[in-house]
Amino acid sequence: MRITALAGGVGGARFLRGLRSHLDGLGDGPHELTVIGNTGDDITLFGLRVCPDLDTLLYTLGGGVKESQGWGRAGETHVVQGELAAYGAQPQWFALGDRDFATHIARSQWLGQGRSLSEVTALLAQRWGLSEQGVRLLPMSDSPVETHVVIDRGDGETEAVHFQEWWVRHQAGVPAQRFVALGMDRAAAASGVLEAIRGADVVLLPPSNPVVSIGIILGVPGVRDALRGTAAPVVGVSPLIAGAPVRGHADACLAAIGVEASAQAVAGLYADFLDGWVVDPADAECRVKGARLAVHDGPLLMRDVASAAHIAGTALDLALSLRS
Ligand code: GDP
Ligand code: CA
């Protein structure tokens, strides 16, 4: 089976680790899993290229993530960050651990040698054993795209800040007026991205942020058309339970684009290509206009690998039931 998934960071990575575990349990492999990662969160800090969502996917699938946090490395230390702070080097609001720094240094060195982000991501993935698991991680695009957030400066003027500044520094506490994906007008899908959607047997949307993770990937030229056109069933899992995000600030992101925070409204964002939608029993009433959409409910809280595997299995079974 060829499965293609679009993914942000923590929600995407936990779901996909569960999917891997579910596929292992089926024992009828090998199955091929292509993950298209959001790079709109990427940022250059201290001269280093940081790709938070790709790194969360690498660390989680590779067994190196700090589990309690959902991102960053297990067993992390912060010596370098302390030294940077001693010099007064900015910014200090973005946490980078020593182990994590090595990822950004290696990535930046390889990018500096002229390699594409796809090539660099494949090199990083070797260390985490992704191909041994049948997983191929692709950035959505090789050209830099950075999500910026237009916020009120407080003096009647607006300003655009990098997504990370809004999300991490301001904890999404300053109302966002809109999101701008800088560089998207010049971006193209990375090699293999559109092919992976068109040639898949099943396409899955993990419970990633619908605006700043999945929404950004959908803005990459050709991606949305490929989802509309693929013969594969497209099945998504709601990132909201009973109208609230499980973690993070998806509700603030939805408010910025004028969409209600509900499983139903999120499905509405994908209505032109979505075939199946998995919601929590708390949202079982979810009815999305266009009766074509198959809605299935089951507990959607990913407490551990086993519960994430169960959710992934539910999404996969729904997709397979829609295949004929
Ligand atoms: P980020 O880039 O690290 O923010 O991660 P993603 O975009 O991949 O995922 C963020 C979304 O995952 C948030 O909107 C959360 O509500 C959702 N999420 C996190 N944990 C869970 C969970 O256990 N169940 C469900 N259904 N959604 C979750
Ligand atoms: Ca992210």
Element (H, E) at 312: helix 305-321
Contacts of 159 (CB under 8 A, 6+ apart): 150, 151, 153
Atom of ligand 1 nearest to the CA of 7: 8
Mean pLDDT, rounded, for 160-165: 96
**Ligand 1 geometric centre to CA of 317 (Å):** 21
Closest by alpha carbon to 220, among 193, 184, 195, 191? 184
From 54, 208, 297, 304, the mutation candidate for ligand 1 (largest count of ligand atoms within 8 A of CB) is 208
First to last CA, the chain: 15
Pick the ligand that lies closest to the CA of residue 12: 1
42-57 pLDDT, tens per residue?
A: 999 999 999 999 999 9
pLDDT at 55: 98
Pick the ligand that lies closest to the CA of residue 248: 1
Place of tokens 């990459």: 220
207-248 pLDDT, tens per residue?
A: 999 999 999 999 999 999 999 999 999 999 999 999 999 999
**Ligand 2 geometric centre to CA of 233 (Å):** 25
The Cα 271–Cα 264 span in angstroms is 10
Q: How far is CA 168 from the centre of its chain?
A: 16
The Cα 228–Cα 245 span in angstroms is 26
Atom of ligand 1 nearest to the CA of 52: 2
pLDDT at 128: 98
126-137 pLDDT, tens per residue?
A: 999 999 999 999
**Amino acid, res. 202:** V
Pick the ligand that lies closest to the CA of residue 208: 1
- Bridge partners for 166 per DSSP: none
Closest by alpha carbon to 201, among 324, 299, 93? 324
CA-to-CA dists, residue 141 to 130, 138, 184, angstroms: 19, 8, 9
**pLDDT classification of 99: cutoffs 50, 70, 90:** very high
What torsion do the CA atoms of 206, 195, 109, 87 make, to the nearest 10 degrees? -30
Query: Is 324 a residue whose pLDDT tops 80?
Result: no
pLDDT at 292: 82
The Cα 116–Cα 126 span in angstroms is 16
Residue ranges lining ligand 1, Cβ < 6 Å: 7-12, 53, 56, 207-209, 213, 237-239, 241, 245-248, 250, 300-302
Atom of ligand 1 nearest to the CA of 250: 14
The Cα 23–Cα 25 span in angstroms is 5
From 140, 246, 301, the mutation candidate for ligand 1 (largest count of ligand atoms within 8 A of CB) is 246
pLDDT at 144: 97
**Ligand 2 geometric centre to CA of 87 (Å):** 29
Q: pTM surpassing 0.95?
A: yes
Q: How far is CA 265 from the centre of its chain?
A: 19
From 240, 247, 300, 304, the mutation candidate for ligand 1 (largest count of ligand atoms within 8 A of CB) is 247
The Cα 183–Cα 40 span in angstroms is 10
Tokens (6 digits) for 74: 């297990």
Contact indicator for 121, 20 with CB cutoff of 8 Å: no
Atom of ligand 1 nearest to the CA of 56: 3
**Ligand 1 geometric centre to CA of 30 (Å):** 27
Mean pLDDT, rounded, for 146-154: 93
Tokens (6 digits) for 301: 């809280």
167-202 pLDDT, tens per residue?
A: 999 999 999 999 999 999 999 999 999 999 999 999
Query: Is 291 a residue whose pLDDT tops 70?
Result: no
The Cα 38–Cα 13 span in angstroms is 11
Return mean pLDDT, the chain: 96
Query: Is 289 a residue whose pLDDT tops 90?
Result: no
Query: Is 286 a residue whose pLDDT tops 90?
Result: no
**pLDDT classification of 154: cutoffs 50, 70, 90:** confident
Pick the ligand that lies closest to the CA of residue 42: 2
Positions of E strands within 131-218: 135-139, 146-152, 158-162, 176-182, 202-205
Mean pLDDT, rounded, for 157-166: 95
